[in-house]
């Protein structure tokens, strides 16, 4: 079974630009979660989607948004990039029900200059 | 979400058992205990989870105390590839609160 894939793997953007990251979950998984990892703050939850609906959102500004498509693929968007948005963005997929584990992708390394 | 306390770091000799403790004294009745690990520069990897009973799979064993206030992850025969940061995460893993709240975890270093 193919794992979670994320594209692109690496990205360099300039302050003020916007970026879209993509995540393809494991086949059959309906839940996709996004996390941000930085050296200072560690792994932080951004949001989670289940069957195209956002079920939960972390404590991030509105510049961070996401969506999920009918095939469970998900995208997250960051607008008006800031230097502090430089991070590893991780996507995880799950069956989305109680007792099921999350499977993480390799992440997208975003560098904002 | 319950707060967790884990040692910042631990060492283990290759081939020996690694026992990683986690205190989660504020865990609620419907919260599972999940363990993940993150090898450097990779995405976190699920290891095991449990609610009340001890659990074992091909990767590890999970021992949860009867009062559920603490747990121990056991890697029976640690290898160099087990060097990673290990996270203990209580979560109710369902409904509107479905998310993982990662703490700082324990850096396990397996030495040859």
Report the phi/psi class of residue A26: left, alpha or beta, with left for phi > 0 and alpha for psi in -120 to 50.
beta
pLDDT for residue B93? 57
Residues of A in contact with B46 (CB under 8 A): 101-103
CB contact under 8 A, A101 and B94: no
Residue of A nearest to B40 (CA): A106
**Considering chain B, what percentage of its residues have pLDDT values greater than 90?**
74
pLDDT at A97: 67
Contact A29, A51 (CB under 8 A): no
Residue scoring higher pLDDT (A55 or B87):
B87
The whole-number pLDDT of residue A72 equals 95
Contact residues on chain B for A107, CB-CB shorter than 8 A: 42-43
Q: What is the pLDDT of residue B16?
A: 97
CB contact under 8 A, B98 and A56: yes
Tens digits of residue pLDDT in A12-32: 999 999 999 999 999 999 999
Q: What is the CA radius of gyration of chain B?
A: 13
Does position A61 have pLDDT exceeding 70, yes or no?
Answer: yes
The pLDDT score that the predictor gives to residue B53 is 86
B2: pLDDT strictly greater than 80: no
Q: Which two tokens stand for residue A94?
A: 């799950």
CB contact under 8 A, B97 and A56: yes
Query: Considering only alpha carbons, which residue of chain A is nearest residue B93?
Result: A98
Q: Cis (ω within 30 of 0) for the bond into A8?
A: yes
Q: Cβ–Cβ of A90/B44 closer than 8 Å? A: yes
Asked whether residue B97 carries a pLDDT value surpassing 70, the answer given is no
Give per-residue pLDDT as tens, B25-61: 888 888 889 999 999 889 999 999 999 889 999 999 9
* pLDDT tens, residue by residue, A66-82: 999 999 999 999 999 99
CA-based nearest residue in chain B for residue A98? B94
**Chain B positions in Cβ-Cβ contact with residue A92 (cut-off 8 Å):** 43-44, 100
Mean pLDDT of chain B: 91
**Which has the closest alpha carbon to B34: B18, B57, B16?**
B57
Q: What is the pLDDT of residue B61?
A: 98
Confidence (pLDDT) at B91? 83
pLDDT at A1: 67
Question: To the nearest whole angstrom, how far is the Cα of B101 from the nearest Cα of chain A?
Answer: 7
pLDDT tens figures, B62-86 = 999 999 999 999 999 999 999 999 9
């Amino acid at each position: 079974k193919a794992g979670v894939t994320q594209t692109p793997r690496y990205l360099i953007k300039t302050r003020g630009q916007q970026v879209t990251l993509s995540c393809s979950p494991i086949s059959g998984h309906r839940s996709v979660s996004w996390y941000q990892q930085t050296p200072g703050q560690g792994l932080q939850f951004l949001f989670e989607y289940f069957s195209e609906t956002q079920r939960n959102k972390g404590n991030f500004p509105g510049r961070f948004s996401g969506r999920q498509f009918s095939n469970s693929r998900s995208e997250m968007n960051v607008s008006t990039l800031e230097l502090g948005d430089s991070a590893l963005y991780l996507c995880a997929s799950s069956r989305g029900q109680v007792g099921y584990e999350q499977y993480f992708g390799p992440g997208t390394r975003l560098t904002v200059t | 979400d319950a707060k967790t306390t884990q040692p910042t770091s631990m060492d283990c000799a290759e081939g020996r058992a690694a026992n990683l403790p986690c205190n989660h004294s504020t865990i609620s009745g419907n919260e599972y205990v999940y363990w993940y690990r993150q090898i450097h520069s990779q995405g976190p990897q699920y290891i095991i989870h449990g609610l009340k009973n001890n659990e074992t799979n091909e990767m590890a064993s999970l021992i949860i105390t009867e009062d559920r206030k603490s747990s121990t992850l056991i890697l029976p025969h640690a290898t160099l590839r087990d060097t990673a940061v290990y996270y203990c995460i209580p979560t109710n893993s369902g409904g509107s609160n479905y998310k993982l709240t990662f703490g700082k975890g324990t850096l396990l270093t397996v030495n040859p």
